[in-house]
Structure 1
Protein backbone atom coordinates (compact mmCIF):
# COMPACT_ATOMS: atom_id res chain seq x y z
CA UNK A 1 0.00 0.00 0.00
CA UNK A 2 2.84 2.41 0.82
CA UNK A 3 4.41 1.77 -2.60
CA UNK A 4 1.09 2.48 -4.31
CA UNK A 5 0.69 5.77 -2.39
CA UNK A 6 4.24 6.82 -3.29
CA UNK A 7 3.53 6.01 -6.93
CA UNK A 8 0.39 8.18 -6.88
CA UNK A 9 2.30 11.13 -5.39
CA UNK A 10 5.03 10.70 -7.99
CA UNK A 11 2.50 10.67 -10.87
CA UNK A 12 0.73 13.73 -9.43
CA UNK A 13 3.95 15.79 -9.25
CA UNK A 14 5.11 14.62 -12.68
CA UNK A 15 1.76 15.67 -14.17
CA UNK A 16 2.05 19.13 -12.58
CA UNK A 17 5.50 19.70 -14.03
CA UNK A 18 4.48 18.32 -17.42
CA UNK A 19 2.23 21.35 -17.80
CA UNK A 20 4.64 23.89 -16.29
CA UNK A 21 6.43 26.39 -18.48
CA UNK A 22 10.08 26.34 -17.57
CA UNK A 23 12.28 29.16 -18.71
CA UNK A 24 9.43 31.55 -19.56
CA UNK A 25 9.82 35.16 -18.45
CA UNK A 26 7.38 36.76 -16.04
CA UNK A 27 6.27 40.19 -17.23
CA UNK A 28 6.62 43.11 -14.84
CA UNK A 29 3.47 43.64 -12.78
CA UNK A 30 1.88 47.04 -12.30
CA UNK A 31 -0.98 47.90 -9.97
CA UNK A 32 -3.42 47.53 -12.89
CA UNK A 33 -2.00 44.29 -14.37
CA UNK A 34 -4.76 41.69 -14.68
CA UNK A 35 -3.22 38.61 -16.32
CA UNK A 36 -0.98 37.51 -19.17
CA UNK A 37 -0.91 34.83 -21.85
CA UNK A 38 2.06 32.81 -23.09
CA UNK A 39 2.22 29.97 -25.60
CA UNK A 40 4.40 27.01 -26.46
CA UNK A 41 5.81 28.48 -29.68
CA UNK A 42 7.98 31.22 -28.19
CA UNK A 43 8.33 33.43 -25.17
CA UNK A 44 6.43 36.47 -26.40
CA UNK A 45 3.84 37.45 -23.81
CA UNK A 46 0.43 39.10 -24.14
CA UNK A 47 -0.43 41.34 -21.20
CA UNK A 48 -3.87 42.58 -20.12
CA UNK A 49 -4.21 45.62 -17.86
CA UNK A 50 -7.20 47.48 -16.41
CA UNK A 51 -7.74 50.87 -18.00
CA UNK A 52 -9.07 53.16 -15.29
CA UNK A 53 -11.02 56.40 -15.76
CA UNK A 54 -10.22 57.22 -12.11
CA UNK A 55 -8.96 55.27 -9.09
CA UNK A 56 -12.24 53.38 -8.63
CA UNK A 57 -13.83 53.04 -12.09
CA UNK A 58 -12.95 51.32 -15.33
CA UNK A 59 -12.88 53.31 -18.55
CA UNK A 60 -16.31 52.74 -20.13
CA UNK A 61 -15.12 52.76 -23.74
CA UNK A 62 -11.94 50.75 -23.28
CA UNK A 63 -11.81 49.02 -19.86
CA UNK A 64 -8.85 46.78 -20.73
CA UNK A 65 -5.56 47.59 -22.46
CA UNK A 66 -3.61 44.74 -24.00
CA UNK A 67 -0.17 44.63 -25.58
CA UNK A 68 2.64 42.21 -26.26
CA UNK A 69 6.14 41.95 -24.88
CA UNK A 70 8.48 40.54 -27.52
CA UNK A 71 10.83 38.58 -25.29
CA UNK A 72 12.06 36.72 -28.38
CA UNK A 73 13.30 40.13 -29.63
CA UNK A 74 14.87 41.63 -26.52
CA UNK A 75 11.73 42.49 -24.52
CA UNK A 76 10.38 45.21 -26.79
CA UNK A 77 6.79 46.29 -25.92
CA UNK A 78 4.40 46.66 -28.85
CA UNK A 79 0.65 46.89 -29.43
CA UNK A 80 -1.11 43.83 -30.78
CA UNK A 81 -1.14 43.59 -34.55
CA UNK A 82 -4.50 43.96 -36.28
CA UNK A 83 -4.58 40.21 -36.96
CA UNK A 84 -3.74 39.40 -33.32
CA UNK A 85 -6.43 41.83 -32.15
CA UNK A 86 -9.10 40.40 -34.47
CA UNK A 87 -8.34 36.66 -34.40
CA UNK A 88 -6.26 35.74 -31.35
CA UNK A 89 -5.61 37.97 -28.32
CA UNK A 90 -8.08 40.82 -28.77
CA UNK A 91 -11.09 41.18 -26.49
CA UNK A 92 -14.79 41.90 -26.74
CA UNK A 93 -16.25 43.70 -23.71
CA UNK A 94 -19.73 44.22 -22.33
CA UNK A 95 -20.47 46.60 -19.46
CA UNK A 96 -22.66 44.86 -16.85
CA UNK A 97 -22.99 47.78 -14.43
CA UNK A 98 -21.73 48.18 -10.85
CA UNK A 99 -18.18 48.49 -12.19
CA UNK A 100 -18.23 44.94 -13.64
CA UNK A 101 -17.22 44.20 -17.21
CA UNK A 102 -17.81 40.86 -18.91
CA UNK A 103 -15.32 40.11 -21.65
CA UNK A 104 -13.95 37.34 -23.77
CA UNK A 105 -10.77 36.76 -25.68
CA UNK A 106 -11.74 36.67 -29.36
CA UNK A 107 -10.24 33.23 -29.94
CA UNK A 108 -11.98 31.67 -26.86
CA UNK A 109 -15.48 33.11 -26.90
CA UNK A 110 -16.93 30.26 -24.81
CA UNK A 111 -14.89 31.24 -21.73
CA UNK A 112 -16.41 34.36 -20.13
CA UNK A 113 -14.14 36.52 -18.00
CA UNK A 114 -15.22 39.23 -15.56
CA UNK A 115 -13.29 42.40 -14.78
CA UNK A 116 -14.05 43.49 -11.22
CA UNK A 117 -12.66 45.62 -8.41
CA UNK A 118 -11.82 44.18 -4.99
CA UNK A 119 -12.57 45.92 -1.69
CA UNK A 120 -9.09 47.45 -1.61
CA UNK A 121 -9.63 49.01 -5.05
CA UNK A 122 -7.43 46.60 -7.01
CA UNK A 123 -8.78 45.37 -10.35
CA UNK A 124 -8.86 41.63 -11.03
CA UNK A 125 -10.31 39.11 -13.49
CA UNK A 126 -12.56 36.29 -12.33
CA UNK A 127 -13.63 33.22 -14.27
CA UNK A 128 -15.10 29.78 -13.68
CA UNK A 129 -13.57 26.72 -15.32
CA UNK A 130 -14.28 23.06 -14.61
CA UNK A 131 -16.54 24.11 -11.73
CA UNK A 132 -13.84 26.25 -10.01
CA UNK A 133 -14.34 30.00 -9.62
CA UNK A 134 -11.02 31.83 -9.34
CA UNK A 135 -9.09 35.02 -10.01
CA UNK A 136 -7.09 34.63 -13.22
CA UNK A 137 -3.35 35.38 -13.20
CA UNK A 138 -2.10 33.80 -16.43
CA UNK A 139 -2.93 31.46 -19.29
CA UNK A 140 -0.59 29.08 -21.08
CA UNK A 141 -1.54 27.87 -24.56
CA UNK A 142 -0.11 24.62 -25.91
CA UNK A 143 -0.23 24.86 -29.68
CA UNK A 144 -0.48 21.75 -31.81
CA UNK A 145 2.84 20.88 -33.40
CA UNK A 146 3.24 22.17 -36.95
CA UNK A 147 0.52 24.83 -36.77
CA UNK A 148 1.11 28.58 -36.79
CA UNK A 149 -0.29 31.90 -37.98
CA UNK A 150 -3.96 31.94 -38.93
CA UNK A 151 -3.88 28.12 -39.11
CA UNK A 152 -2.82 27.76 -35.46
CA UNK A 153 -4.57 24.95 -33.64
CA UNK A 154 -4.60 24.61 -29.88
CA UNK A 155 -4.02 21.35 -28.02
CA UNK A 156 -4.99 22.77 -24.60
CA UNK A 157 -4.95 25.87 -22.40
CA UNK A 158 -3.98 26.03 -18.74
CA UNK A 159 -5.52 28.75 -16.60
CA UNK A 160 -3.60 29.72 -13.44
CA UNK A 161 -4.96 31.77 -10.57
CA UNK A 162 -6.15 31.75 -6.98
CA UNK A 163 -9.55 31.01 -5.49
CA UNK A 164 -11.33 33.16 -2.87
CA UNK A 165 -9.36 31.42 -0.08
CA UNK A 166 -6.02 32.23 -1.73
CA UNK A 167 -5.43 28.63 -2.83
CA UNK A 168 -3.56 28.25 -6.11
CA UNK A 169 -5.72 27.00 -8.96
CA UNK A 170 -4.61 25.35 -12.21
CA UNK A 171 -7.37 24.34 -14.62
CA UNK A 172 -6.91 22.75 -18.02
CA UNK A 173 -9.21 23.54 -20.93
CA UNK A 174 -9.25 21.36 -24.03
CA UNK A 175 -11.00 23.28 -26.82
Structure 2
Protein backbone atom coordinates (compact mmCIF):
# COMPACT_ATOMS: atom_id res chain seq x y z
CA UNK A 1 0.00 0.00 0.00
CA UNK A 2 2.82 2.38 0.88
CA UNK A 3 4.44 1.82 -2.56
CA UNK A 4 1.17 2.70 -4.31
CA UNK A 5 0.86 5.94 -2.31
CA UNK A 6 4.44 6.89 -3.18
CA UNK A 7 3.83 6.15 -6.86
CA UNK A 8 0.58 8.17 -6.92
CA UNK A 9 2.27 11.08 -5.16
CA UNK A 10 5.15 11.03 -7.68
CA UNK A 11 2.79 10.87 -10.66
CA UNK A 12 0.64 13.73 -9.39
CA UNK A 13 3.71 15.96 -9.32
CA UNK A 14 4.04 15.54 -13.10
CA UNK A 15 0.39 16.00 -14.02
CA UNK A 16 -0.68 19.58 -13.37
CA UNK A 17 -4.36 19.77 -12.48
CA UNK A 18 -4.71 23.49 -13.13
CA UNK A 19 -6.85 25.02 -15.81
CA UNK A 20 -7.85 28.45 -17.00
CA UNK A 21 -9.95 30.17 -14.32
CA UNK A 22 -13.60 30.56 -15.28
CA UNK A 23 -13.67 34.19 -14.10
CA UNK A 24 -11.08 35.40 -16.63
CA UNK A 25 -12.52 38.06 -18.96
CA UNK A 26 -13.12 37.30 -22.62
CA UNK A 27 -11.89 40.20 -24.76
CA UNK A 28 -14.57 41.68 -27.01
CA UNK A 29 -14.59 40.20 -30.51
CA UNK A 30 -13.65 42.74 -33.16
CA UNK A 31 -13.31 42.63 -36.93
CA UNK A 32 -9.52 42.54 -36.56
CA UNK A 33 -9.23 40.04 -33.68
CA UNK A 34 -7.15 36.97 -34.50
CA UNK A 35 -6.67 35.42 -31.05
CA UNK A 36 -5.58 36.24 -27.52
CA UNK A 37 -3.35 34.85 -24.76
CA UNK A 38 -4.07 34.75 -21.04
CA UNK A 39 -1.78 33.64 -18.22
CA UNK A 40 -2.05 32.44 -14.64
CA UNK A 41 -0.16 35.48 -13.33
CA UNK A 42 -3.16 37.82 -13.66
CA UNK A 43 -6.11 38.68 -15.91
CA UNK A 44 -4.17 41.02 -18.20
CA UNK A 45 -4.52 39.71 -21.76
CA UNK A 46 -2.26 39.78 -24.82
CA UNK A 47 -4.21 40.55 -28.00
CA UNK A 48 -3.26 39.65 -31.58
CA UNK A 49 -5.14 41.71 -34.17
CA UNK A 50 -4.67 41.77 -37.93
CA UNK A 51 -3.90 45.08 -39.65
CA UNK A 52 -5.70 45.82 -42.92
CA UNK A 53 -5.03 48.48 -45.51
CA UNK A 54 -7.83 50.76 -46.77
CA UNK A 55 -8.89 48.10 -49.32
CA UNK A 56 -9.29 45.39 -46.68
CA UNK A 57 -6.09 43.49 -47.48
CA UNK A 58 -3.58 42.40 -44.85
CA UNK A 59 -0.89 45.07 -44.54
CA UNK A 60 2.31 43.50 -45.81
CA UNK A 61 4.53 45.97 -43.91
CA UNK A 62 2.79 45.42 -40.53
CA UNK A 63 0.38 42.46 -40.67
CA UNK A 64 -0.22 41.90 -36.94
CA UNK A 65 -0.72 44.27 -34.00
CA UNK A 66 0.15 42.77 -30.59
CA UNK A 67 -0.72 44.60 -27.37
CA UNK A 68 -2.07 44.22 -23.83
CA UNK A 69 -5.54 44.79 -22.48
CA UNK A 70 -4.73 45.62 -18.84
CA UNK A 71 -7.80 44.18 -17.10
CA UNK A 72 -6.03 44.38 -13.71
CA UNK A 73 -5.93 48.17 -14.09
CA UNK A 74 -8.64 50.04 -16.03
CA UNK A 75 -8.94 47.71 -19.02
CA UNK A 76 -6.80 50.04 -21.13
CA UNK A 77 -4.62 49.16 -24.08
CA UNK A 78 -0.87 49.06 -23.47
CA UNK A 79 1.92 48.30 -25.93
CA UNK A 80 4.24 45.37 -25.22
CA UNK A 81 7.53 46.22 -23.56
CA UNK A 82 10.66 45.53 -25.63
CA UNK A 83 11.61 42.47 -23.54
CA UNK A 84 8.06 41.05 -23.86
CA UNK A 85 8.12 41.60 -27.60
CA UNK A 86 11.54 40.01 -28.07
CA UNK A 87 11.33 36.99 -25.78
CA UNK A 88 7.66 36.19 -25.18
CA UNK A 89 4.72 37.61 -27.11
CA UNK A 90 6.19 39.43 -30.09
CA UNK A 91 5.55 38.02 -33.54
CA UNK A 92 7.04 37.68 -36.97
CA UNK A 93 4.77 37.27 -39.94
CA UNK A 94 6.38 35.83 -43.05
CA UNK A 95 4.50 35.39 -46.36
CA UNK A 96 4.67 31.85 -47.72
CA UNK A 97 6.42 31.74 -51.07
CA UNK A 98 4.44 28.66 -52.07
CA UNK A 99 1.07 30.29 -51.33
CA UNK A 100 0.87 34.09 -51.03
CA UNK A 101 -2.58 33.89 -49.36
CA UNK A 102 -0.87 32.55 -46.22
CA UNK A 103 1.62 33.97 -43.74
CA UNK A 104 3.63 31.91 -41.27
CA UNK A 105 3.07 33.52 -37.88
CA UNK A 106 5.82 32.94 -35.32
CA UNK A 107 5.47 33.91 -31.68
CA UNK A 108 8.78 34.81 -30.01
CA UNK A 109 8.55 32.32 -27.15
CA UNK A 110 7.99 29.18 -29.21
CA UNK A 111 7.87 27.68 -32.65
CA UNK A 112 6.67 24.20 -31.63
CA UNK A 113 3.30 24.73 -33.29
CA UNK A 114 2.87 26.15 -36.78
CA UNK A 115 0.48 29.09 -36.99
CA UNK A 116 -0.81 30.20 -40.38
CA UNK A 117 -2.48 33.56 -40.96
CA UNK A 118 -4.86 33.64 -43.92
CA UNK A 119 -7.02 36.35 -45.39
CA UNK A 120 -10.45 34.84 -46.04
CA UNK A 121 -12.20 37.92 -47.48
CA UNK A 122 -11.71 41.70 -47.51
CA UNK A 123 -11.31 42.83 -43.89
CA UNK A 124 -11.40 39.19 -42.66
CA UNK A 125 -8.53 36.97 -41.57
CA UNK A 126 -7.99 33.96 -39.31
CA UNK A 127 -5.11 32.06 -37.75
CA UNK A 128 -5.12 28.32 -38.40
CA UNK A 129 -3.20 25.61 -36.57
CA UNK A 130 -3.44 21.93 -35.75
CA UNK A 131 -5.07 21.47 -32.37
CA UNK A 132 -5.09 17.91 -31.10
CA UNK A 133 -4.56 16.71 -34.68
CA UNK A 134 -7.43 18.75 -36.20
CA UNK A 135 -7.00 21.80 -38.39
CA UNK A 136 -8.61 24.58 -36.40
CA UNK A 137 -9.15 28.29 -36.17
CA UNK A 138 -7.16 29.47 -33.15
CA UNK A 139 -9.32 31.27 -30.57
CA UNK A 140 -7.05 31.64 -27.55
CA UNK A 141 -4.21 30.26 -25.48
CA UNK A 142 -3.83 29.97 -21.72
CA UNK A 143 -0.29 29.78 -20.34
CA UNK A 144 0.45 28.40 -16.90
CA UNK A 145 3.94 29.26 -15.66
CA UNK A 146 5.88 29.05 -12.43
CA UNK A 147 6.79 32.69 -11.81
CA UNK A 148 8.76 32.17 -8.59
CA UNK A 149 12.09 32.67 -10.37
CA UNK A 150 13.46 35.55 -12.43
CA UNK A 151 12.46 33.94 -15.74
CA UNK A 152 9.00 32.28 -15.88
CA UNK A 153 9.04 28.51 -16.36
CA UNK A 154 6.09 27.51 -18.56
CA UNK A 155 4.52 24.31 -17.23
CA UNK A 156 1.77 23.97 -19.81
CA UNK A 157 -0.18 25.75 -22.53
CA UNK A 158 -3.86 25.18 -23.18
CA UNK A 159 -4.90 25.79 -26.79
CA UNK A 160 -8.53 26.53 -27.66
CA UNK A 161 -9.91 26.65 -31.17
CA UNK A 162 -12.70 25.65 -33.55
CA UNK A 163 -12.48 22.77 -36.01
CA UNK A 164 -12.51 24.28 -39.52
CA UNK A 165 -14.71 21.47 -40.88
CA UNK A 166 -17.29 21.05 -38.11
CA UNK A 167 -17.08 24.32 -36.16
CA UNK A 168 -16.89 22.30 -32.94
CA UNK A 169 -14.49 23.37 -30.18
CA UNK A 170 -10.98 21.91 -30.26
CA UNK A 171 -8.61 21.71 -27.31
CA UNK A 172 -5.07 20.63 -26.60
CA UNK A 173 -2.88 20.83 -23.52
CA UNK A 174 0.86 20.98 -24.16
CA UNK A 175 2.80 19.99 -21.03
CA UNK A 176 6.37 21.31 -20.68
CA UNK A 177 6.16 23.01 -24.09
CA RMSD after TM alignment: 1.9
Q: For 1:110, what is the secondary structure of its paired residue?
A: strand
Distance in 2, matches of 1:75 and 1:56, equals 28
2:145, 2:154 within 8 Å by CA — same for their partners in 1? yes
Contiguous gaps of at least 5 residues in structure 2? 1-16
Misfit runs of 4+, over 3 Å: none
Match of 1:53 in 2: 53
How high is the TM-score relative to the length of structure 2?
A: 0.82
Match of 1:82 in 2: 82
Deviations 1:98-148 (A, max 9, x none): 33111111001222211112257521100114422110000000112524x
Distance in 1, matches of 2:123 and 2:50, equals 12
User: More helix by proportion, 1 or 2?
Assistant: 1
1:58, 1:99 within 8 Å by CA — same for their partners in 2? no
Deviations 1:32-76 (A, max 9, x none): 100000000101000000111244421111111111011111212
How high is the TM-score relative to the length of structure 1?
A: 0.82
Q: How many residues align?
A: 157
Match of 1:28 in 2: 28
Contiguous gaps of at least 5 residues in structure 1? 1-16
Distance in 2, matches of 1:56 and 1:76, equals 26
